[in-house]
A and B are shown apart, each in its own frame.
Chain A
């Protein structure tokens, strides 16, 4: 009886944790994969893997990076399994138009489409920093890069993104 209560409590806590993190994890997976359906699959699989491995999560405060690492691994596995053909970014943008739309805020939709066009190596650290709130050191740890390399990628990512969006970049520094 005691075990069952403990199990139910554990399950409820885990369910609550998943629910609180799920929106950001789904968004992260979407920007990582640029594919809504794939993002949902990856996050679903991630939750199941996380449930099975929950004993390795020692501190709930560290849950976000823990889930994120599983998502990145799961995405890489999916990528290996499916061996995607080279993608046409314009096709991706057209396919994901409902997700990229932003009501009457045309500039947001354009920004989202521009983000699709950033190379993975720039898009991922940028999303980790801005959406997930990761510090440079956390991004470096997650991506296996040095802090300096992360800062360079973030610098290039914003520079390219702003140019893609037609921002005034006359004051931007050169490489």
Chain B
């Protein structure tokens, strides 16, 4: 049987440790439960803090693979044929393409990455349960985002108003046949198109909501993307905007 000191030492070393003994202790100890909530909140911020936005790379410094000798020979042959301009144009295109690809890959954490990082800070939300969150608590969480949920969304087992990218957003867990599904209503985040992601054990989608930002829906397992998309649209259909 572990004591509070052992529990807290273990959690400070590995906040996401899934050891059942730790879970049992936490469930039976009010102070350790409080300690864990504080620690996981801090951990969530810390995870985001580590993901500093990266500067745009210069094309010259990012050619990580030396150009093949064959390409040089081809360019020379082109020059000999009096088509040096073609080689130059091709080079410019390559540089632009590489710079564009690299810019896309390092232009800071994506919305999906931030959503996933946020999830990691609230592991307690991922419980499979048939106990709904009390209706007044759910209304409180949704009110600030000017929405309410119609019955079609499914059983909401968790509702929290979370700080995300500088705004308070509703973080809900809906129980589905595919297990618990997390929904974040991101009224401040515009998404130009639907994006699927599969990061750090989370699979999900971010779908645009015209006039109301976007909706992130994710699962912690191997659900099919098609299923996740269906859940996202079911939740979206059940949202009633009140402002």
- A residues within 8 Å of B by Cβ? 4, 7-8, 11, 14-15, 18-20, 22-23, 26-27, 30-31, 36, 40, 44, 47-48, 51, 99-100, 102-105, 107-108, 111-112, 115, 127, 129-131, 133, 136, 151-152, 154-155, 158-159, 161-162, 165, 167-168, 171-174
Contact = CB atoms under 8 A, between A and B. Distances in A.
Interface string B28-71: 00011011001100110111111111110100011011101010
Contact of A15 (B4, B42, B50, B65): B65
A160 to B, nearest CB: 10
Contacts of B43: 130
Contacts of B211: none
Nearest to B167: A104
Interface string B1-40: 0001100111011110000000000000001101100110
Contact of B49 (A8, A20, A115, A158): A115
Q: Which 7 A-B pairs have the closest CB atoms?
A: A47-B64, A111-B49, A154-B13, A171-B35, A151-B13, A155-B13, A131-B50
A100 B49 CA distance: 8
Contact of A23 (B15, B46, B106, B165): B106
Interface of B: 4-5, 8-10, 12-15, 31-32, 34-35, 38-39, 42-43, 45-55, 57, 61-62, 64-66, 68, 70, 101-102, 105-106, 165-166, 200
B236 to A, nearest CB: 28
Contact of A103 (B70, B102, B166): B166
Contact of B50 (A11, A51, A127): A127
Contact of A159 (B12, B52, B54, B101): B12
A103 B70 CA distance: 47
Q: Which of B39, B47, B54 has the most CB of A within 10 A?
A: B54
19 contacts: A15-B65, A20-B105, A22-B64, A23-B106, A31-B50, A48-B64, A99-B53, A100-B52, A102-B49, A111-B49, A115-B49, A136-B13, A152-B13, A154-B12, A154-B14, A158-B13, A161-B46, A167-B38, A174-B5
A92 B212 CA distance: 41
B166 A104 contact: yes
B65 A11 contact: yes
Contacts of A40: 57, 61
A171 B35 CA distance: 6
A165 B53 CA distance: 21
A146 B13 CA distance: 14
A22 B66 CA distance: 17
Given A154-B14, A158-B39, A165-B42, 20 more contacts: A11-B65, A14-B64, A19-B105, A22-B106, A27-B52, A27-B54, A30-B52, A31-B50, A51-B64, A100-B52, A105-B165, A108-B45, A111-B45, A127-B50, A130-B47, A131-B47, A151-B10, A171-B34, A171-B35, A173-B9
B34 A172 contact: no
A130 B12 contact: no
B5 A4 contact: no
B37 to A, nearest CB: 10
B51 A27 contact: yes
A24 to B, nearest CB: 9
